Amino acid sequence: MGWPRLVRLSPTQRHGSVAQWRKEGCIAVWLHVPIFQSGFAAAAASQGFTFHHAEQGSSTLTLWLGEGPSRLPVYATHQLGVAGAVLHESTGKVLVVQDRNKTTNAWKFPGGLSNPGEDIGDTAVREVFEETGIKSEFKSILSIRQQHEHPGAFGKSDMYIICRLEPSSFNISFCQQECLRCEWMDLGELAQTKLATPITSNIAKLLLYGYQEGFDKIDITMREFPAVSTGLFYKLYHRELPESYRSIM
């Protein structure tokens, strides 16, 4: 038996009715409403539709027709923040900033929210450049923080990823609208100072360990593979395998 039908409509496609859709075996209806036709949302609500999500130019409503509670996936349960720990290996110094708009001026790694469709490493590189003027290259993921009911994410869950980056420029030209201060700080000093955020202090210690003992002990690296969908690819992040295991078929 195949999957039950789902109907996708816009306000200009007003054919059909709830009774007809049930008769045809539909389990759910998706209604796409452009912002300039928002009046249709009220009419749809009277038929049992509820909001699923809204973007800049449209909203999407759904109506569950199947048995029991709706099994449609929820929308935008998380936001993704990414920071870059840019380590200058020749000097042992790491790039840090203080946010201008925070009540506590603690040292942290530069970063921000990932754009839709943007890879984690690309977000880190972009945010570091926008905040500090430093160009860099993605090397690995160092950590992932998960936090629920985040006030800055409208009560949604928040994922915050810190990446290890390698600099390709060194002269700071920081964004004065976002940053109060920006400097290259000795990694050992950052690991010990009480003037850093808790997550920055912990990752500084992790980074110091990798700097002294080898980054292979802390890095979560990335490999790209073809996806099941033709022409698409995905990125897999994991600890690097020993050479002897990579050749196992």
**CA pair distance 204, 193, nearest whole angstrom:** 10
**pLDDT in the model for residue 57:** 92
**pLDDT in the model for residue 208:** 97
Backbone angles phi, psi at 211, to 5 degrees: -65, -35
**pLDDT in the model for residue 19:** 83
Asked if 44 contacts 59 with a C-beta cutoff of 8 angstroms, the reply is: no
Global pTM value: 0.82
- Of the listed ranges 8-12, 141-145, 173-177, the one predicted with least confidence: 8-12
Asked if 178 contacts 102 with a C-beta cutoff of 8 angstroms, the reply is: no
**CA pair distance 30, 215, nearest whole angstrom:** 48
Confidence of residue 11 (pLDDT cuts 50, 70, 90): low
For residue 219, give the amino acid letter: D
Give the pLDDT confidence of 89-114 residue by residue, as tens digits: 999 999 999 998 777 889 999 999 99
Nearest Cα residue to 140 out of 156, 124, 160: 124
> What domains, with CATH codes, occur in the chain?
5-64 (3.40.630.30), 78-217 (3.90.79.10)
Asked if 134 contacts 86 with a C-beta cutoff of 8 angstroms, the reply is: yes
Nearest Cα residue to 83 out of 119, 111, 115, 121: 111
Confidence of residue 136 (pLDDT cuts 50, 70, 90): very high
Which residues are CB-neighbours of 145 under 8 A, at least 6 positions away?
A: 158, 159, 160, 161, 162, 199
For residue 181, give the amino acid letter: R
Give the pLDDT confidence of 233-248 residue by residue, as tens digits: 999 999 988 777 766 6
Overall residue count recorded for the chain in this entry: 249
Is pLDDT above 90 for 132? yes
Backbone angles phi, psi at 169, to 5 degrees: -140, 165
Average pLDDT of the chain, as a whole number: 89
Is pLDDT above 70 for 5? no
| Start-to-end C-alpha separation, the chain | 36
Between 26 and 125, the higher pLDDT residue? 125
**Cα distances (angstroms) measured from residue 245 to each of 78, 141, 223, 242:** 35, 21, 15, 6
> In percent, how much of the chain has pLDDT > 90?
66
Q: Which residue has the tokens 């539709």?
A: 49
